[in-house]
């Protein structure tokens, strides 16, 4: 899902997130989002990708959501998930 709740009202966003929760044990769901709060709410595992000018994107860090958001290993991940850049 690419930004599945982009430009949706909170009620519609909640319904999409409920649907994700209902399906999570039946299928693999991959979500691309810039909404860090939503990523924390709906994911069990996550990855932080970063691209620099003239270079392809790469995974900076991945793992259980609690670890990536709570105690990331890479300072760039920490800066992004805390809102210091991005």
pLDDT tens by residue, 2-19: 999 998 999 999 999 999
- Please name which of 63, 70, 24 lies closest in space to residue 46, comparing C-alpha atoms: 63
pLDDT tens by residue, 10-43: 999 999 999 999 999 999 999 999 888 999 999 9
pLDDT tens by residue, 67-82: 999 999 999 999 999 8
pTM: 0.83
């Amino acid at each position: 899902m690419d930004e599945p709740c982009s430009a949706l009202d909170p009620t519609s966003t909640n319904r999409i997130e409920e649907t994700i929760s209902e399906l999570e044990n039946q299928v693999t769901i991959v979500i691309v989002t810039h909404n860090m709060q939503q990523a924390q709410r709906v994911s069990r595992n996550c990855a932080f990708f970063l691209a620099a000018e003239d270079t392809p994107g790469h995974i900076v860090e991945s793992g259980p959501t609690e670890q990536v958001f709570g105690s990331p290993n890479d300072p760039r991940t920490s800066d992004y998930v805390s809102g210091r850049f991005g």
